[in-house]
Structure 1
Amino acid sequence: MILKLLQLSSSALPLGAYSYSEGLETAIETQMIQGEEGFKQWLQDELSHGAIRLETALMLRGYRCWQKKDLEGLQYWNQWGSAVKETAELREQSWQMGNTLTRLLLALDSNPKLKESLTAVGKPCNSAIAFGIGAANWEIDEYSTVLGYLHSWATNLINAGVKLIPLGQTTGQQLLLQLHANIETTATTVLNLADDELYTCSWGLGLASMQHETQYSRLFRS
């Protein structure tokens, strides 16, 4: 189980996550984020109140719908996930990565139930939904799945921050280690969120994502 979790949450998984900065590029360019401490605060705020908290809750609902063979629920939460994206950039990122993960999962596993579920969701499929289905299919427990999803997100953004701020590789790893407590707290919170408690407060991310498309010089995909 742990090996499958490591594979599913690995930054080496060919989904294209490395090509997105989720607003970081604009936030650093406009000095909304300054240096290591500013970057750390941004990541902590996102874990506590931001879009990744909502994305992880969405992923968990995909996981639970798969377990219950609730195909209508999978369709509902996938549509819900698209509707709550604050910008076209964030929505397109989720769709691109989700569709890619869907193809990859079908290539890795021949379980008919997996194919049935992913087919029911259809395209576009949000990355959180695809991840949840994949983890449930591989029988990874809920808590480990949530930790893996959050850790994968933090790893991708820290890699982006190392390039953009810039930070040293060692500093990036130190920052990831410092976030472990925040990741564990968010994981515990997300596991106990009711449907009517799903919210996000990430105005900074939304504004940065909106501006990224017209940013003069970019390293990351818009």
Structure 2
Amino acid sequence: MDPTGRLEGGRAVLTSIQLLTLVRWLSPAFPTGAFAWSHGLEQAVRDGTVRDAATLEDWLDAVLRHGAGRTDAILISVAHRSDRPEELGALAELATALAPSRERRAETLGQGIAFSATLRALHGWGLPDAPFPVVLGRAARLAGLPPGPVAEVALQGFVTTLAQAAQRLMPLGQTAAQGVILRLSATCGEVGAEAVGLGLDDIGSCAVAVDLCSMRHEGLEPRIFRS
């Protein structure tokens, strides 16, 4: 199967099986433990920076466009194009180094290792224990999934996880949380699609407040989330 996918109007089109595979991988039921991490959001709520649906949307938009969202989308795309084990190894090292704090490093590695272990058990694939976007990109290549839709759905899953975390951290109803996810869907699609044509030289983040929250969260007590 062509790993770039069938194109229609310049965009990759998934078959039914490809779509169902992608939805299954990135659903909350897949055992990556994503629910345990807040990406520093818990600290932002404690500080009062994120306090309602509007400020949550602004915070998540910044993460998608200028933080780990864009970086991870590029890493997915590059991992998808990498054929040699040494390339994936170097990419895993870079992805680990890009994590700005101990907890964020544990977040991406923990989810990546869990994702890899499950797919190895299901399919026998030779996947590395590596940060989540690297494993996801490589697994997508092995499954014949095109990188654009993979990155787009991964970003929406990331936003959904954090919106659910926000519901546990502050007064935010389910409908309001779904509204945030809905309004950010276009951003997920835009950032994910753009990443297909980008490489490692295009990685660069400017989400300083988000990164600082992840660092300060390491000393936060009491807390609900691991990051």
Query: TM over 0.5: same fold?
Result: yes
Higher helix proportion: 1
Aligned equivalent of 2:66, options 41, 49, 59: 49
Runs of 4+ in 1 over 6 A off after TM superposition: none
Aligned equivalent of 1:153, options 146, 154, 158: 158
Shift of 1:140: 1.2
Rounded to whole Å, the distance in 2 between the matches of 1:209 and 1:64 is 30
Rounded to whole Å, the distance in 1 between the matches of 2:171 and 2:89 is 40
Amino acid at match of 1:182: T
Shift of 1:171: 1.1
SS state of the match for residue 140, structure 1?
Answer: coil
Q: 5+ unaligned residues in a row in structure 2: which ranges?
A: 1-17
Shift of 1:189: 2.1
8 Å Cα contact 2:152-2:193 kept in structure 1: no
Q: State the match for 2:4 in structure 1.
A: none
8 Å Cα contact 2:65-2:191 kept in structure 1: yes
Rounded to whole Å, the distance in 2 between the matches of 1:24 and 1:132 is 25
Aligned equivalent of 2:222, options 214, 217, 220: 217
Q: Does 1:127 align with 2:145?
A: no
Deviations 1:99-155 (A, max 9, x none): 111110111113xxx32xx2xx4x4x1111111122121111222111111111111
Shift of 1:216: 2.0
RMSD: 1.3
Q: State the match for 1:195 in structure 2.
A: 200
Q: State the match for 1:144 in structure 2.
A: 149
Identity fraction in percent: 28
Rounded to whole Å, the distance in 1 between the matches of 2:144 and 2:171 is 39
Q: State the match for 1:37 in structure 2.
A: 54
Rounded to whole Å, the distance in 1 between the matches of 2:171 and 2:131 is 30
8 Å Cα contact 1:8-1:135 kept in structure 2: no
Amino acid at match of 1:187: G
Amino acid at match of 2:186: A
Shift of 1:188: 2.4
8 Å Cα contact 1:51-1:201 kept in structure 2: no
Rounded to whole Å, the distance in 2 between the matches of 1:79 and 1:158 is 29
The size of the alignment, in residue pairs, is 210
Q: State the match for 1:70 in structure 2.
A: 84
Moved more, 146-155 or 15-24: 146-155
SS state of the match for residue 184, structure 1?
Answer: helix
Rounded to whole Å, the distance in 1 between the matches of 2:102 and 2:120 is 27
Shift of 1:168: 0.6
Q: State the match for 2:31 in structure 1.
A: 14
Q: 5+ unaligned residues in a row in structure 1: which ranges?
A: none
